[in-house]
Structure 1
Amino acid sequence: MLYFSTWKTVAVLALCLLGVVFALPNVLPQSARDAYPSWFPARTVTLGLDLQGGSQLLLEVDGDALRKTRAAAVQDDVRRLLREARIGTTAIQLNGMATTVTLRDPSQRDLALEKLRTLAVPAANTMFGGAGPAEVEVNSQGDNVVVATLSEAGVQARIRSAVDQSIEIVRRRVDALGTVEPSIQRQGSNRILVQVPGLQDPERLKEILKTAAQLSFRLVDLSMPPEQAANGRPPEGSEVLFEERDGQRVPVLVEKRVMVSGEDLTDAQPGFDQRTNEPIVSFRFNNRGARLFGAVTQQNVGKPFAIILDGKVISAPRINEPITGGSGQISGSFTVQSANDLAVLLRAGALPAPLTVIEERTVGPGLGQDSIEAGTRATWYAAIFVVIFMFATYGVFGFFANIALTIHVVFIFALMSLIGATLTLPGIAGIVLTIGTAVDSNVLIYERIREEFRAGRNMVSSIEAGFKQAFAVIIDSNSTMAIAAVILFLLGSGPVRGFAVVFLLGIITTVITAVTMTRMMIALWYRRTRPTTLPF
């Protein structure tokens, strides 16, 4: 029997109402959405970069800077290992990516090789869990010369790892700016594509992303006036850095030894100094950082302590008393925005390597509005022609299919609002495509009903057989399209993934609207009119 129970009818109508509730905020003005109660769903579909404008940056990990940093780190490790093993040297020189060690005693060459080969660890693990290439190659040249060379394979593995780490750090920094649905993805082996819809200030985005945010706390060296060190040669173990004071660069002599690293920070928040009301950045360490910070401040009361960010001295306050609480504050010539930006950088963490802007693009809201209007027109034209065709071909059954098609589009926007998906121009193309594929299921059902009725069945059995026989075909066809959509989502990027998301949501809602809703409407229609022949 063509029967649709009351509870099923109520469930379908409730589902439709729920879809309307979630999709409705997309067509309401902002003032109406602001008037919603806090518990009422008011999320809207986020428009992509091509629809509302915004900023796009293509960043490249600076491989040369990473090589220099790693080569200098290898030199420091070589010096430390040889000193711990009490191996005398006459020179430790860095030439490119090779650290050359000249031993004082040739008989210690084998011991030096044994100690330095502990540096030959894999730069990164492979995707299958195996060890990657060794980052350092250690060899001897003659009786008293040992060379530790940074391998190119190890550097490339380090760059790939740096890109992965940079993507997460960039994501945290962009999210902290309060932007909505940024797209951050790898491009090639050493590039990162960042798209931020709605952001019309690319300069601030560039500053946030290019800053390495390498924070360190070091003691100020008081053994020599900083001006003398800047004009001559600073003492061994110290270097001259500069601090901005009243618009001028003032030299500061600081020790190279890092007392506390920014890696031990757990939080950083902008605020205001209670005494001067100036913008500051408050920070808090983890247990290890708090212990180190407390020990350093306890042992160096009365000495200046430099706070250094990316090679520049932010401030060098004097330690008046031990700071054992694991927290402190950074003060300087901050504005409210610069303090907030610094807090964002410190919370997100330091980049493993500098990022260079390769390409910059700003899409204006006017171009986005043109895209929206063009996509809207295409959607309306497609919907109108489909509605006319279905009604002209199948009569009242086509009218039911058109109602189901409308609910189908509502469900797509409701689901996109619910999951916070981003709608791009290819996504609009996906909606237009699903409008056609949605009624395709109704066409299969109706044509099967026609075949069964012409074969001599009555109305009820023809409709029952049409839905039953066509259901397997609908599931098969939509399953193959869903597989293609999933592959597009997994292997695609940017606009391709946006198209895949909308298309996949359209496939899911098609099965609900084309089968369940249409069946309900036909059942109610038949129960009310009791026709003896098909209306088409």
Structure 2
Amino acid sequence: MLNRYPLWKYLLILLVLVVGVIYALPNLYPEDSAIQISGDRGTRIEQSALDRAAQALEAADIAIKRTELEENGSGLIRLQDANDQLHARDVIASTLGQDYVVALNLAEATPSWLASIGAAPMKLGLDLRGGVHFLLEVDMDAAVKQRLESNASAMRQTLRDERIRYRNNEVKDHSIRFAFASEEDLNQARSLLQTQYNVFTFTTEDEGRGAVLVMTITDQAIQELQDYAVNQNLTTIRNRVNELGVSEPLVQRQGPSRIIVELPGIQDTAAAKRIVGATANLEFRLEAAPDTPESEIETLPFRNDPDRKAALLKDIIITGDRVSSASRSFDQNGRPQVNINLDGAGGSQMNSATRSNIGRNMAVIFIEHKSRTRTVMEDGKQVEERVPYTERGIISLATIQSALGSQFRITGLDSPTESQELALLLRSGSLAAPIYFAQERTIGPSLGQQNIDRGIMSVIVGLVMLVIFMLVRYKAFGLIANAALTVNLVLLIAAMSLLGATLTLPGIAGIVLTLGMAVDGNVLIFERIREELRAKKTVQQAIHTGYERALTSIIDANVTTLLVAIILFSIGTGPVKGFAVTLSLGIVTSVFTSVMVSRAITNLSVGGKTLKKLWI
């Protein structure tokens, strides 16, 4: 019999529709704007502190939904109005004082029964949800200096291994300088180092009673090093952003020395800057022996006690670059620590250095590259000048009891938060060069909500206009097309929610375009049915032929569009990818609803019936 589906097809369509409705439902429960309160040193929040914060908000006429204590020991206050978020944070911070960390947050509002089956609302992009935009600048001079200092340390070790004596060594103006007591020592050193370091030009200078070997890095090597520094920083920052769990972040290079970072949904900009821009690294060095020459010693303070200092060798055993993984934990006394795993080369270097120095002290040095601004006069005008500087501090100084391998622990940390951030930075890798924040913009939740409201309004207006057009043009069959259109929208939202796709403003444009394309499929079918009726075929034959012969045209048109969407996704970034994802999913749901859902409704309503006239 014409225009009848087998039972299994009806059941399949029903199943898809039910699943679609369930996984689209969480979007009716958007995230709540909230304030998160945690202890300054990772301590748990008491209910009394949460009550004090809630009372302070009520006194400031800030409406709250509810307060709750979370399993991780922090407190959460959900607000009625997103526009009150910044004011609420300031009120709570002044009420609770310095012993608490108060941050902006977005709290899940999905009912527990939906969350238990993995249902969650669509993730929103930076233009909808709000977040932060950073423009970072890579310090190219520091990248060159770091590489020269690393090479100088390796050269010193090479000369000592070959028993070639030198008086002093310094890094200055893109050059490494070694002073020797005799011409013979200089020639031996030059002959040895030239075979290992081909990125330097070697020259000599006379200096009183001795001679100086000057090794200047070439311009080509500097250019290659600077490109490497930017690309390595890109990789490291992407790793850090992935550790933060941000959905659809944007990390890309801009020009020769700048990097753009956009983090949707991040409300605590201070924490984001601390993680993304941290140029922390570790160095492991031996404590200097009493008879060590002064030129090979560097005296550094302890991080948690600046008045206490230790004299260390300039030579580095390994740096944080050799860390393959890191995790935080607590020792037997409940103090925070970081568990370190080194790569193969790092483990060998650590084992070699500690095996021959059992009984000596080894220091773990925490290094941070920072900058401060100062106001200077330039051409009669006051301008701000950035002055970079480096902070080095000893985390721990412990005696080597036995040869260490690729696994060990770092202790001496102040808080669990510090250990967590240090582990994150080591896991994601150290930056090849310091970076500075050239620009910072925050997109607030109010702007995001305004964009969301406008986007929803555009979808509603487009949907209403399509519904009216289909009703006027195709009458009763217009109702069938509109029902399929509604199913298409539900399935599209469900698919984006289920797959974790991120919705942006271009993505909303993709939804509107998808609705138009879905209607286009039904228009092809209905016009084909009209042609068959004009050819004097029966109603049932016209419906059957219309759906069957329009199928090829629908698939051809949508496949070509799908190929374009795939190309956009593969080569595009940011908003372009958001549009491509929405368009691709929309094409799949449009074909399904235009061909199967629309025909199923038609079969159920008029299939198998004897009709002399069709309202189309």
Conserved 8 A contact 2:358-2:400: yes
Change (3 A) 1:114 1:462: farther
The one-letter code matched in structure 1 to 2:263 is V
2:240 to 173, 179, 188: 173
2:537 equivalent to 1:457 = yes
State which drifts further: 504-513 or 479-488: 479-488
Query: Which residue is 2:84 aligned to?
Result: none
Quick one: distance in 2 between partners of 1:397 and 1:332? 74
CA shift digits 1:250-287 (9 cap, x unpaired): 44321112224333434333333433x44333334456
- The 5 Å alignment of 1:108-507 reads 112=190, 116=194, 118-120=196-198, 136=199, 138=201, 149-223=216-290, 235-246=294-305, 248=306, 250-275=308-333, 277-286=334-343, 289=346, 292-293=349-350, 296-297=353-354, 299-310=356-367, 312-319=392-399, 321-322=401-402, 324=404, 327-332=407-412, 334-507=414-587
Quick one: distance in 2 between partners of 1:423 and 1:37? 20
Change (3 A) 1:91 1:236: closer
Higher strand share: 2
Change (3 A) 1:219 1:72: closer
Conserved 8 A contact 1:117-1:138: no
Quick one: distance in 2 between partners of 1:150 and 1:323? 37
2:125 equivalent to 1:66 = no
Query: Which residue is 1:56 aligned to?
Result: 133
**What percent identity do the matched residue pairs reach?**
36
Give the match's secondary structure for 2:433.
coil
Quick one: distance in 1 between partners of 2:177 and 2:283? 29
Conserved 8 A contact 2:176-2:214: yes
Change (3 A) 1:373 1:173: same
**TM-score, normalized by length of structure 1?**
0.83
Give how far 1:320 is off: 6.6
Conserved 8 A contact 2:300-2:393: yes
Query: Which residue is 1:130 aligned to?
Result: none
CA RMSD of aligned residues (A): 3.5
Query: Which residue is 1:132 aligned to?
Result: none
Conserved 8 A contact 1:81-1:116: no
Quick one: distance in 1 between partners of 2:311 and 2:184? 38
Conserved 8 A contact 1:53-1:363: yes
Give how far 1:522 is off: 1.6
Conserved 8 A contact 1:186-1:193: yes
The one-letter code matched in structure 2 to 1:65 is A
2:100 equivalent to 1:42 = no
State which drifts further: 361-370 or 72-81: 72-81
Quick one: distance in 2 between partners of 1:93 and 1:329? 33
The one-letter code matched in structure 1 to 2:130 is G
Quick one: distance in 2 between partners of 1:287 and 1:474? 57
Query: Which residue is 2:28 aligned to?
Result: 27
CA shift digits 1:189-215 (9 cap, x unpaired): 443322222221212211212222321
Give how far 1:368 is off: 0.9
CA shift digits 1:137-189 (9 cap, x unpaired): 647799x9987543444433333333333333223323333444433333344
Give the match's secondary structure for 1:270.
strand
2:63 equivalent to 1:4 = no
Unaligned runs of 5+ in 2: 31-107, 206-210, 368-390
Give how far 1:518 is off: 1.2
Give how far 1:381 is off: 1.2
CA shift digits 1:424-470 (9 cap, x unpaired): 12211211121112111111221122122212222233223322332
Quick one: distance in 2 between partners of 1:146 and 1:297? 32
Give the match's secondary structure for 2:238.
helix
Give the match's secondary structure for 1:119.
coil
Conserved 8 A contact 2:358-2:403: no
Number of residue-to-residue matches in the alignment? 510
Quick one: distance in 2 between partners of 1:257 and 1:99? 15
**TM-score, normalized by length of structure 2?**
0.73
Conserved 8 A contact 1:405-1:435: yes
Quick one: distance in 2 between partners of 1:250 and 1:107? 39
Conserved 8 A contact 1:290-1:325: yes
Give the match's secondary structure for 1:477.
helix
Quick one: distance in 2 between partners of 1:312 and 1:419? 45
Conserved 8 A contact 2:123-2:500: yes
CA shift digits 1:333-357 (9 cap, x unpaired): 5133222211211222212222222
The one-letter code matched in structure 1 to 2:113 is A
Unaligned runs of 5+ in 1: 121-135
Quick one: distance in 2 between partners of 1:394 and 1:314? 78
Quick one: distance in 1 between partners of 2:350 and 2:171? 32
CA shift digits 1:348-371 (9 cap, x unpaired): 221222222222111111111111
The one-letter code matched in structure 2 to 1:171 is R
Quick one: distance in 1 between partners of 2:502 and 2:232? 24
